[in-house]
Amino acid sequence: MENILITICARGGSKGIPGKNIKSLNGRPVIDYSIKHAVMFAKLHDNVDIALSTDSEEIKKVAASCGLNSEYTRPDFLANDTVGKIDVLDHILYHEEEQRQKKYDILLDLDVSSPMRTIDDLQQAFKIFIQNKEALNIFSVSKPHKNPYFNVVELKEDGFCKLVKQSDSKSRQAAPVVYDMNASFYIYRKAFFDQKLRSAITDKSLLFLMDHICFDIDEPIDFDMMEFLLSANKLDFEI
């Protein structure tokens, strides 16, 4: 039986939206959505533990009020804007293994600021991942609004622009299919961390395409949009 660790990572500081991770979203702290998803997933599987990674005592208190207690505090060297998420996951993973005296086979990371996921999304992605023994990880994606083969450009050294990716496509519909990584969830095998990989995109990565809207709360307008969608019951799924 495989041991699963679910991680919920939330920094205290946020430049775009102060207190974003514990801000009330349709009457619930943002972090509560991910905590509830973690609990729901854990009830459907054996040998699941849930861990919180944060540098904030306030976030710890809010998480505890939502049912997730934690004695772990993210160290200062992992609590700044220059640190990658994988370094944070690596640290909490090995910390939990040491504290709980057990080894984990799979890590499921639920991103606090991208909560528009369903338990069915998690179940389907997990099934796909488990069935592919070669895969190191799988992550959620959405259909993109732009395509780098057709209408995404970058500047050249001479100051003029060019398409990010070149193709012979005459229309966006004919361009190669691409996806947006929506950051909602990532599932990793322990081998990913044992190999000291530093990017979620590897040559053994799978993707899970969500069939509904999903986006990250990055700017205040994102928060307002998500608040409206939830409060006005505009979603055709439950998060």
DSSP assignment of 137-185: EEEEEE--SS-TTTT-EEE-TTS-EEESS----SSTTTSPP--EEEEEE
Q: What are phi and psi of 22, to 5 degrees?
A: -120, 5
pLDDT at 97 over 90: yes
Residue 146's pLDDT is 92
> Average of pLDDT values for 50-57?
97
pLDDT at 226 over 90: yes
Residue 82's pLDDT is 84
> Average of pLDDT values for 82-87?
92
State how far Cα 11 lies from the chain centre.
14
Which strands form 137-142's sheet, in the order they lie side by side? 48-53, 4-9, 106-111, 180-189, 137-142, 205-209
CA distances from 188 to 32, 109, 211 (A): 22, 8, 22
> Average of pLDDT values for 51-73?
97
Show the CA angle centred on residue 235, arms to residues 200 and 145, nearest 5°.
50
> Looking at residue 20, what DSSP letter applies?
G
d(C-alpha 25, C-alpha 45), whole Å: 28
What is the average pLDDT score of the chain? 95
What is the pTM (predicted TM-score) of this model?
A: 0.94
β-bridge pairing 161-163 and 48-53:
unpaired
Residue pLDDT, tens place only, 121-164 = 999 999 999 999 999 999 999 999 999 999 999 999 999 999 99
**Residue 42 exposed, middle or buried by CB count within 10 Å (0-12, 13-18, 19+):** middle
Residue 23's pLDDT is 96
Structure tokens at 136: 């190191």
**Residue 11 exposed, middle or buried by CB count within 10 Å (0-12, 13-18, 19+):** buried
d(C-alpha 180, C-alpha 118), whole Å: 18
Residue pLDDT, tens place only, 166-200 = 988 778 788 899 999 999 999 999 999 999 999 99
Residue 14's pLDDT is 66
> Average of pLDDT values for 33-52?
98
List the one residue out of 39, 193, 41 whose CA is nearest residue 103: 193
Q: Would you place residue 1 in the very low, low, confident or very high pLDDT band (cuts 50, 70, 90)?
A: confident
pLDDT at 80 over 90: no
d(C-alpha 94, C-alpha 13), whole Å: 24
pLDDT at 18 over 80: yes
> Average of pLDDT values for 77-94?
93
Percent of the chain exceeding pLDDT 70 equals 99
List the one residue out of 83, 88, 109 whose CA is nearest residue 181: 109
Residue 12's pLDDT is 86
Show the CA angle centred on residue 126, arms to residues 125 and 127, nearest 5°.
90
> Average of pLDDT values for 77-84?
88
> Average of pLDDT values for 218-238?
96
Percent of the chain exceeding pLDDT 90 equals 90
**Residue 4 exposed, middle or buried by CB count within 10 Å (0-12, 13-18, 19+):** buried
